[in-house]
């Protein structure tokens, strides 16, 4: 009989630890979500999540307390028995089993509720950081990512480049062909930039027809290769709209992060490089460098250039540099 009481007590403790562990896990998850999402979600959404977790935690706490009381009652009933009675033992085992099953089901339900809410939050976060038209990251995501990258660079210095790209003459294109065609063209340009970059690169629609692309762990020569590859790919797009085949080009400015430079100065130089590309005649890659044109020429020699099949001649991309 003493052995049975000991076993029941051990099972009770195990169930209590399991419940406490699951409850603590939910609290830890809530704290992590709070820290991770506090700067990403609107306060209303965050408060709703926290209230939901607190409600679930309170319900679980009540269920655990009730379970403990049930186990204590079962133990008391067994201790009161003077002579071993198989019926009492069997009834106690049955009650213990039913109590454990009930608590397990309630804990599983609580865990599922938290997971469902977490999925909703992650979906909201993704939507909040995604441009609804093109499907790439939006300006909000760009601001968050560039701050995140700068924070990482403070702890572990590395290379970082920025591409600022703009669809040439897009307002005229949009006015002439209509907004629906213009929207579809922006979608194709965005998809082209994503295909032209690595999975770790961050392609964002910066605003209107302008895109910003962050290139972590990338030096300027490599960034120029990426930029020219993207420019050529956009120029080669064949977009059929009914019986009309339309083409667009992009101008791209590329800059590399300087030691000690802040975000505002970095982005400002990217804008200046893009402006220089437009002034230079558009449909080109422009960068800021103190090394003259030699570095750019070396880069361009490694880039595959399209061939005009009518003449058999290579079409040399128009690129240049601005002296910083």
DSSP H/E element including 221: helix 220-235
**Size (the chain), residues:** 324
Alpha-carbon span 197 to 163, nearest angstrom: 11
Neighbours of 317 (CB within 10 A): 16
Angle at CA 215, nearest 5°, toward 212 and 218?
A: 145
Identify the DSSP state of 200. T
Identify the DSSP state of 137. B
- In order of 168, 170, 186, 294, the CA distances from 178 in angstroms are 16, 11, 12, 42
- In order of 31, 58, 317, the CA distances from 113 in angstroms are 16, 13, 56
Alpha-carbon span 91 to 93, nearest angstrom: 6
Is 42 catalytic? The answer is: no
> Which one of the listed residues 209, 210, 256, 288 is annotated catalytic?
209
Neighbours of 139 (CB within 10 A): 15
- Provide the sign of the torsion angle of the four alpha carbons 61, 62, 65, 71, taken in this order: negative
Both tokens assigned to 15: 């169930």
Catalytic residues: 209
């Amino acid at each position: 009989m003493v052995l049975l009481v000991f076993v029941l007590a051990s099972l009770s403790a195990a169930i209590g630890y399991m419940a406490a562990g699951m409850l603590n896990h939910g609290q830890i998850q809530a704290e992590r979500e709070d820290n991770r999402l506090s700067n990403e979600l609107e306060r209303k959404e965050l408060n709703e999540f926290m209230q939901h977790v607190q409600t679930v935690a309170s319900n679980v706490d009540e269920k655990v307390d009730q379970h403990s009381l049930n186990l204590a009652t079962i133990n008391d009933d067994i201790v009161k028995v003077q002579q071993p009675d198989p019926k009492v033992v069997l009834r106690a085992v049955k009650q213990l089993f039913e109590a454990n099953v009930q608590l397990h089901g309630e804990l599983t339900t609580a865990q599922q509720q938290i997971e469902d809410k977490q999925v909703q939050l992650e979906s909201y976060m993704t939507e909040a950081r995604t441009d609804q038209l093109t499907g790439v990251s939006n300006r909000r995501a760009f601001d968050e990512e560039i701050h995140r990258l700068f924070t990482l660079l403070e702890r572990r210095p590395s290379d970082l480049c920025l591409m600022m790209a703009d669809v040439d003459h897009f307002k005229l294109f949009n006015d002439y062909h209509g907004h629906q065609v213009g929207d579809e063209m922006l979608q194709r340009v965005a998809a082209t930039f994503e295909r032209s970059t690595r999975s770790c690169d961050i392609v964002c629609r910066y605003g209107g027809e302008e895109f910003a692309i962050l290139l972590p762990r990338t030096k300027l020569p490599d960034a120029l290769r990426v930029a020219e590859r993207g420019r050529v790919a956009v120029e080669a797009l064949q977009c059929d709209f009914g019986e009309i085949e339309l083409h667009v080009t992009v101008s791209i400015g590329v800059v590399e992060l300087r030691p000690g430079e802040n975000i505002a100065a970095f982005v400002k130089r990217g804008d200046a490089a893009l402006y220089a590309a437009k002034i230079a005649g558009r449909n080109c890659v422009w960068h800021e460098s103190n090394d003259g044109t030699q570095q750019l020429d070396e880069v361009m020699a490694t880039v595959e250039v399209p061939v005009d099949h009518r003449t058999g001649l290579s079409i040399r991309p128009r690129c240049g540099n601005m002296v910083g």
